[in-house]
Structure 1
Amino acid sequence: MDAAYVFRVRFRLDAESGVRTDPRTFETVVEVAADEPGEGEWRFFRDALWRGEVNDERHARELAEGWLSVPVESVSFRELRADEAYVDALRAEIEADPTPFNADSARETLHKYLGSSIRVTDD
C-alpha cells in the first residue's frame, strides 16, 4: 500500500543581516507519507482537513514548518494520492467504526474531510 498527502507550500528564506536572496519566497509541492489505515496517525485527514482544504491555516503552517525546517507563509492541500489497496483499506478501517468521524459511512467520511481530493494511482 502506498499513499501520500500532497500540499502546495509557500515558504521564505530568513537570511542573516547583510545577506539578500532573490527571490525570498518559494513555492514547492510537499508530499507527506500517509500512515497505513489503523496505524499511527492514520486519522491525519480528520485532524487537518475539511472538505478538501486545510481546516486551520495556522496549524497547517506549523506542520509544514516542522516538515521543512523553514518559515512557512501558506499551505494548501492538493490531494490524497493513494493506490487502490490503500483506499480500500482506508474505507474498511473507517467502516469498522465511523463514529470518530461523526459520520455514518466511509463514503460520507471521505467526502466530509477530503472532498473530491482523492486520486487513486495505478502504482
Structure 2
Amino acid sequence: MVARDRYLADNADLLLDDPNAKVALWAHNGHIMKAGHSGGLVPTMGLHLRQRHGEAYYALGVLFGEGRFRARRPRFGKVDPARPPVTFRVPLVRRAAVVEARLATAHPGVIM
C-alpha cells in the first residue's frame, strides 16, 4: 500500500505537468483521504497530493447509501484477472448514527 499510493500520486502529478491541466481522480475513500492509514503511519495518495499541492488538492468522499458494486477479490494479495468480479451488496443502514441513514431521513422518499 505504501508504494501503491505514492505511485498513484506520482501519476496524477505527471498529468499535472501540463500547466493547463485540471485533474479529477475517482478512487476509494481510503486512497483520496488527506490523512494516513494505520494512525497516520501509511501515507495515502491524498496525503501525498495534499503535501505537494496544499489547498489545491480537494478530497470529496462519496457514500453508497445502498446498492451493489462489482470488484475483484484478491487472493494471496494479488488479483487473478481470470477470476470474474464478485458482486457485493451494500445494505441500507437504518441506524441513526450512520451518515447514510441521516441523509436518507433528510428527504424521505427520495432515493439517493
What TM-score does the superposition give when structure 1 sets the normalisation length?
0.29
Higher relative contact order (CA 8 A, sep 6+): 1
When normalised by structure 2's length, the TM-score is: 0.31
- Which structure has the bigger radius of gyration? 2
